[in-house]
Amino acid sequence: MFGAPIDAAAEAARDAAFPGGWFAVAFSGELGPLGVAPRRAFGRDLVLWRTADGAAHAANAECPHFGVHMGRGGTVKDDGLTCPIHGLRFDRAGRCLPAHPGKPAPELTIRTYPTHEAGGVILAWRDVEQRAPADAGPGMHVPGWSVRESRRWTLEGDLRRTVSRAAWLEHEAGGQVRLFATPVELETTRILALIGAEADRAIARLEASLGRPDAPPEPQKKAQPGWATVRAD
């Protein structure tokens, strides 16, 4: 046995402490065609990947075979997420795919999260009981809206208070900022911000309230042809 025994009851209680709903896990431009990226959200390591049809997908990053983090070195091959160590492949529903034609696939699965992509962000649906999404995901089609750049903050403190703070900042920005708050750990929240084309005053207000972003501002990348706005299976 490797490591300490897992306290299943404690793990379940911790998992239930995180809220459910749609949460932003990445900017669209961070996940290019057939791209793979690691993320941390809901107290778990996640892997994001984009299949050949342009759809973004999300799952727990740990390969059930040997526990390898598939967001670090994983690839997309034949429309499946491929583990970097032994080459096991998982489809968008989390099922392990056959390694060779005519041979059965190992009975291994990964937990996937339905995704929705709109307005330059990738959102994942989280429900502790893994129920289907209550809706198709938030829309971002606002007349006249034009994204100039994106920023990211990681804040300590209660998620509900951070969400309220973000809503107030959006209101103060006069429609030139879109903010998405996503729990990383129980005590840490990440905010993804899309900055509008006429948002110089709004940016000053954001930095006055949230501090300096985690990284320098990033110009918003346009979606590549074929990128889909879909919900995962």
pLDDT at 54: 95
Residues 112 and 203 in one domain: no
Q: What is the pLDDT along the chain (233 residues), one digit of tens a residue?
A: 333 455 778 778 888 999 999 999 999 999 999 999 999 999 999 999 999 999 999 999 999 888 899 999 999 998 899 998 888 999 999 999 987 666 778 889 999 999 999 888 999 999 998 899 988 888 766 667 778 889 999 999 989 999 999 999 999 888 889 999 999 999 999 999 999 888 888 888 899 999 999 987 777 665 554 444 433 33
- Rounded to an integer, what distance in angstroms lies between the CA atom of residue 229 and that of residue 210? 30
pLDDT at 87: 83
The DSSP 8-state label assigned to residue 196 in this structure reads E
Residues 122 and 152 in one domain: no
- Rounded to an integer, what distance in angstroms lies between the CA atom of residue 81 and that of residue 95? 10
State how far the alpha carbon of 200 is from the alpha carbons of 168, 177, 193, 195, in Å: 17, 10, 14, 9
pLDDT at 141: 67
pLDDT at 202: 86
Residues 49 and 121 in one domain: yes
Provide the CATH number for the domain around residue 175. 3.30.70
Residues 38 and 122 in one domain: yes
Residues 108 and 23 in one domain: yes
Q: Which candidate, 66, 21, 10, places its Cα nearest to that of 163?
A: 21
- State how many domains the chain has: 2
In terms of Cβ atoms closer than 10 Å to its own Cβ (0-12, 13-18, 19+), residue 120 is: buried
Residues 25 and 107 in one domain: yes
Q: What is the pTM of this model?
A: 0.87
Could you count the other beta carbons within 10 Å of the beta carbon of residue 180? 20
State how far the alpha carbon of 107 is from the alpha carbons of 1, 40, 98, in Å: 21, 26, 10
Q: Which amino acid is at 88?
A: L
- Asked which of 58, 92, 126 is the last residue of a domain, the reply is 126
Q: Give the domain range for residue 118.
A: 18-126
- Asked which of 126, 156, 171 is the last residue of a domain, the reply is 126
Within-domain flag for 131:
no
pLDDT at 174: 82
Within-domain flag for 132:
no
- Rounded to an integer, what distance in angstroms lies between the CA atom of residue 166 and that of residue 189? 11
Residues 122 and 22 in one domain: yes
Residues 48 and 93 in one domain: yes
Provide the CATH number for the domain around residue 82. 2.102.10.10
pLDDT at 222: 57
